[in-house]
């Protein structure tokens, strides 16, 4: 994302070291932000993943910037002040504790308003200055909407208070352009990501805001359908080569690094639209171990239906988990994508427990094994008790899902037909860990440290359709009229991404120890 103009920044850098800088402290802060961004967001991510220690050099750069933060927002506020603060937002958004980004993005948007970046008031600016002002505003907008939905807080910038065109999909300097490995131009990442940010903002406004909490169930269902269609329209603007299941085959490592974050932002948005983490969602209740009496084992049961859009959420969760297995990893991408990755893991595990005989079972088990290993490492690297609880829940669900698959396959081999659901659930529940917190808090999954992705209402079945009325908001009007096209791509069977590791028994023993050490509320 073009936060700084290379020409302008290099000129300021030269003036700073030539002692000709008018505001040396501000320029010094900008230099530190650029150094921190360059260190934290690698241009060539590697597979050498170290979650134990965040880069001490980044912390030093950030500390330097924070030492002059009050000056940036109170004295001679200019575009450079805003760029520095946005740099901090980007950095904090990629750390274990991203909560400072929530406060800083609000400050950034207010500074943008003071500078009139949200309007066409560029009469006194050169074309280059106008372009830079526009880009800085849209970066602030992007993170405002992204942080809004991830942290469940209202966005500061209203869509109908923007008097700017979206960035060009073919900028003169090529900033944000994405190319295939063979050199073909595919898409402008900056513009693509902005469109997703717009949908993220609409999801919060229409489903999570205080005003939205007062709508009728019928209106909520209509909004869910409309938002799903908007989100899928966005996904269809992503070139086929950059879709989650194939992007690693067509893009270089740096491009994959950024698109991985984008696909997980999409997944998080999709899951929230469909209310997967609703407090009273029946599928979540069915994940808890239960005890069935021997006298009712053969009694037929009709479990409540899964949430609307369940199969599609499973399908996209599988694609994103595949991407995480194939993409170059860094602690930055792990912590940034962690919340949506956890959602994907729980959805896949729940689907295995609900249907341990579907065609992609073996592939899903490989994906969950890899994911639980990642969360093991994240838990070890974090001192937050909540993070450790989530890791225990994920690993226990993984253990139960494997037992369910094993039991069903054995039962079919012996009896020639699948068992009743109660029979295999009873067997896998007998070995469940004691002392495990299954309710995940008072308001829903919310669970991810410093995140709140809970919902207070369950949603009815989704209604798909392209005849629903459009939503018109500022510069996004024309884009929203894009034809729906085909909603769902055909599912793809997973390749064998990695060898199956026999880690379940070792992990179960480790979990017993962790449960004993984690405090219960």
The model's pLDDT over 206-216, given as tens digits with 9 standing for 90+, comes to 999 999 989 99
Q: Is 134 in contact with 167 (CB distance < 8 Å)?
A: yes
**Which residue, among 131, 134, 119, has the nearest Cα to 173 in the 3D structure?**
131
> What tokens appear for 222 in the block?
């209509």
**pLDDT at residue 28 above 50?**
yes
375-396 tens-digit pLDDT:
888 888 777 777 888 888 888 8
Residue-level pLDDT at 489: 33
* Cα–Cα dist 113/109, whole Å: 6
Q: Is 364 in contact with 348 (CB distance < 8 Å)?
A: yes
HSE, side-chain direction, 13 A CA sphere, residue 407: 22
Q: Is 164 in contact with 118 (CB distance < 8 Å)?
A: yes
Residue-level pLDDT at 446: 42
For the residues 276-291, what does the mean pLDDT come to?
Answer: 58
> What tokens appear for 424 in the block?
């295999």
Bigger pLDDT: 172 vs 287 = 172
pLDDT band at 494, cuts 50/70/90?
Answer: very low
pLDDT band at 521, cuts 50/70/90?
Answer: very low
In the block, residue with structure tokens 């021997």: 294
Alpha-helix residue ranges (DSSP H) falling in 216-328? 217-237, 247-250, 253-273, 282-285, 310-326
Residue-level pLDDT at 515: 46
Hey, where are the domains in the chain? 6-161, 277-458+493-517
Q: Which of 28-37, 172-181, 403-412, 507-516 has the lowest mean pLDDT?
A: 507-516
Q: Is 207 in contact with 223 (CB distance < 8 Å)?
A: yes
**pLDDT at residue 439 above 90?**
no
Residue-level pLDDT at 488: 29
* Cα–Cα dist 366/504, whole Å: 12
Helix 385-415 to helix 361-381 angle (10° resolution) is 160
Residue-level pLDDT at 462: 30
For the residues 482-511, what does the mean pLDDT come to?
Answer: 40
**pLDDT at residue 435 above 50?**
no
**Which residue, among 422, 189, 147, 108, has the nearest Cα to 296 in the 3D structure?**
422
> What tokens appear for 399 in the block?
């253990």
Alpha-helix residue ranges (DSSP H) falling in 382-420? 385-415
288-303 tens-digit pLDDT:
665 333 444 444 455 5
Q: What are phi and psi of 188, to 5 degrees?
A: -95, 115
For the residues 244-255, what does the mean pLDDT come to?
Answer: 91
Considering the chain, what is the average pLDDT of its residues?
78
**pLDDT at residue 481 above 70?**
no
**pLDDT at residue 514 above 50?**
no
Share of the chain above pLDDT 70, in %: 71
Residue-level pLDDT at 463: 29
**Which residue, among 475, 480, 478, 479, has the nearest Cα to 141 in the 3D structure?**
475
**pLDDT at residue 158 above 90?**
yes
Q: 265-274: buried (b, 16+ CB within 10 Å) or exposed (e) per residue?
A: bbbbbbbbbb
């Amino acid at each position: 994302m073009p936060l700084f103009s290379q020409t302008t920044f290099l000129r300021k850098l030269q003036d700073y070291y030539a002692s000709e800088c008018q505001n040396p402290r501000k320029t010094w802060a900008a230099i530190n932000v650029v150094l921190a961004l360059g260190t934290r967001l690698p241009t060539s991510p590697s597979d050498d993943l170290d979650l134990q220690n965040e880069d001490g050099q980044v912390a030093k750069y950030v500390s330097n910037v924070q030492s002059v933060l009050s000056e940036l927002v109170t004295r001679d506020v200019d575009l450079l002040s805003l760029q520095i603060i946005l740099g901090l937002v980007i950095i904090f958004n990629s750390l274990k504790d991203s909560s400072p980004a929530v406060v800083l993005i609000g400050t950034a948007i207010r500074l943008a308003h003071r500078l009139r970046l949200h309007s066409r008031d560029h009469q006194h600016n050169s074309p280059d200055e106008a372009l830079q002002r526009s880009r800085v505003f849209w970066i602030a907008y992007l993170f405002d909407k992204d942080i809004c939905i991830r942290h469940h807080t209202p966005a500061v910038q209203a869509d109908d208070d923007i008097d700017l065109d979206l960035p060009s999909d073919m900028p003169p300097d090529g900033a944000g352009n994405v190319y295939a490995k063979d050199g073909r131009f595919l898409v402008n990442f900056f513009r693509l990501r902005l469109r997703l940010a717009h949908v993220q903002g609409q999801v919060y406004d229409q489903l999570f805001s205080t005003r939205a909490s007062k709508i009728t169930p019928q209106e909520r269902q209509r909004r869910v359908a409309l938002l799903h269609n908007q989100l899928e329209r966005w996904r269809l603007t992503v070139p086929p080569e950059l879709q989650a299941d194939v992007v690693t085959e067509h893009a270089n490592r740096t491009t994959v690094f950024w698109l991985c974050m984008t696909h997980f932002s999409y997944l998080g948005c999709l899951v929230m639209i469909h209310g997967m983490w609703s407090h009273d969602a029946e599928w979540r209740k069915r994940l808890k171990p239960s005890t069935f009496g021997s006298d009712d084992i053969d009694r037929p049961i009709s479990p409540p239906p899964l949430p609307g859009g369940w199969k599609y959420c499973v399908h996209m969760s599988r694609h994103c988990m595949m991407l995480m297995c194939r993409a170059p990893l860094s602690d930055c991408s792990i912590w940034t994508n962690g919340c949506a990755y956890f959602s994907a893991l729980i959805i896949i595990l729940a689907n295995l427990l609900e249907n341990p005989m579907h065609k992609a079972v073996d592939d899903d088990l490989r994906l969950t094994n890899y994911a639980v290993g990642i969360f093991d490492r994240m838990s070890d690297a974090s001192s937050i008790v909540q993070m450790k609880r989530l890791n225990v829940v994920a690993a226990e669900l993984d253990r139960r899902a494997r037992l369910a698959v094993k039991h069903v396959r054995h039962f079919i081999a012996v009896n020639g037909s699948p068992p009743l659901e109660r029979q295999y659930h009873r067997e896998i529940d007998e070995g469940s860990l004691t002392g495990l917190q299954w309710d995940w808090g008072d308001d829903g999954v919310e669970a991810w440290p410093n995140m709140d992705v809970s919902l207070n209402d369950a949603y009815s079945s989704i209604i798909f359709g392209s005849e629903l009325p459009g939503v018109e908001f500022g510069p996004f009007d024309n884009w929203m009229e894009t034809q729906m096209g085909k909603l769902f791509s055909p599912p793809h069977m997973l390749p064998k991404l990695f060898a199956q590791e026999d880690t379940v028994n070792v992990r179960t023993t480790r979990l017993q120890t962790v449960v004993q050490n984690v405090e219960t509320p």
